[in-house]
Copies of this chain bind each other. A is one copy, B any other.
Amino acid sequence: MTKNIQDLDTPCLLLDRDRLEANLARMKEVVQLRNTSFRPHLKTAKSLEVAKLAMTFSGGGATVSTLKEAEILGAHGIHDLLYAVAISPQKLKRVSALRAEGIDLKIVVDSVDMARHLSAFYETTGEAIPTLIELDLDGHRSGVRLEDSAQLVAIGWELDRYQQLQGVMAHAGESYGLSNSSDLQKFAHNEAKSACAAAETLRDAGLSCLTVSIGSTPTALAGESYDGVSELRAGVFMFFDLVQSGVGVCTKDDIALSVLTTVISTDMTANRVVVDAGWMALSRDRGTAGQAQDYFYGQVCLQDGAVLTDILVLDAQQEHGIICVRPGSGATMPNLSIGDRLRILPNHACATAAQHGAYHVINSQAEIEAVWPRFSGW
């Protein structure tokens, strides 16, 4: 097996094990301090090995974003799963097949329409699937709006017909747009309060609401009180990325994920270097474009991980990354030659990791400790 990153073919994905473990330890501390339960979201990592590490302080459950993730994780012993994307009728058969194998897969709906499909499915199969009602706290995608309590209760009653109502679920996705701890705390407080209010609305109507599930990396790390909340969910915190650094919940030195790349062309008169990590290796994600500090296609580091301030992947084609000095920064381009190795910190860990088939797990001496395969697809 390859022993040092010097020997790896590029581009490839590196995972710094020390940073991964420190990020996990930090969330573990938050979860213990807040005396709540944790259901890690495994959509960022999509890796059995990372899942095992993250499950050590889970309340037993995990979150997934695809049924494929549920099938793979379920087959490997993680049996308490929440599929946190609104379900469609066509997917119920696969949910049912998983439940028949002993996987306690819970699902999410946001409409009476879909709740009726669930009732019809129960009437055909006799199978009750524990279901959470998705709440829309920030008006950005699916979910029942808080002010629409009639809708919430109507879904609740439809799910209650066959004892399928398990609780409520919210994801404060708009927290990614914040950038200071006081706003994050307020947002986290509001996320918890709103989800609890929705649960109360259901209970006031005479319905049960066992589970109140909330979370996102920024709010899970910022929140101070979780009275009434059953569980927190978060995923990207395991790796962190430039977007989370811009939100203010980590520093660049916490980012566990990077893309190892090789210089393939230099033009020092144009102050430009081309590397073999294009968007195929980095993803097209430009998540920092809307933040105070834009990192274009990624932050450039030396092979040992040292950040080269204001040296960025300014543009990307399929297999070409164009490295330049941040416009206007006055930084100096380091002297690089063809064959030199660099690392790129990603805008968005979920998107960059998804471009790769495996993690090359490295220790602090940049030795390869393991290769952890990733799964993908739906």
Chain A positions within 8 Å of B, measured between CB atoms, are 9-12, 43, 65-67, 85-91, 94, 110-111, 113-114, 117, 139-143, 173, 262-266, 270, 274, 276, 279-281, 283-286, 315, 317-320, 322, 337-339, 350-351, 354-357, 376-378
Contacts and interface: CB of A to CB of B under 8 A. Distances in A.
A88 B339 contact: yes
A58 to B, nearest CB: 20
30 contacts: A9-B94, A9-B378, A10-B90, A10-B378, A11-B378, A66-B319, A85-B264, A85-B276, A85-B319, A85-B320, A86-B264, A86-B265, A87-B264, A88-B264, A88-B276, A89-B338, A111-B266, A111-B338, A113-B338, A139-B270, A141-B322, A142-B264, A143-B265, A173-B317, A281-B378, A283-B284, A284-B284, A284-B285, A318-B350, A357-B377
Given A9-B90, A110-B265, A265-B142, A279 B339 contact: no
A121 to B, nearest CB: 12
Nearest to A356: B377
Nearest to A279: B351
Residue in A265, A286, A317 whose Cβ sees the most chain B Cβ within 10 Å = A265
Given A140-B322, A280-B354, 6 more contacts: A9-B90, A43-B318, A88-B339, A113-B266, A140-B315, A356-B377
A338 to B, nearest CB: 5
A339 B90 contact: yes
Question: Chain A at the B interface: mostly helix, strand, loop or mixed?
Answer: loop
Query: Which interface residue of A85, A139, A355 has the most chain B CB atoms within 10 A?
Result: A85
Nearest to A94: B9
Contacts of A88: 10, 262-264, 276, 338-339
Contacts of A270: 139
A366 to B, nearest CB: 16
A376 B354 contact: no
A313 to B, nearest CB: 12
A337 B265 CA distance: 52
A53 to B, nearest CB: 21
Nearest to A113: B338
A350 B319 CA distance: 11
Contacts of A357: 376-377
Nearest to A265: B142
A66 B9 CA distance: 11
A141 B314 CA distance: 11
Contacts of A284: 283-286, 351
Contacts of A140: 315, 322
A209 to B, nearest CB: 21
A111 B340 CA distance: 15
Contacts of A265: 86, 110-111, 141-143
B320 A114 contact: no
A317 B262 CA distance: 30
Nearest to A235: B318
Contacts of A356: 377
A130 to B, nearest CB: 18
The 6 closest A-B pairs by CB, nearest first: A142-B265, A284-B284, A86-B264, A88-B262, A89-B339, A142-B274
A43 B315 CA distance: 19
B117 A339 contact: yes
A351 to B, nearest CB: 6
A309 to B, nearest CB: 24
A65 B318 contact: yes
A47 B101 CA distance: 35
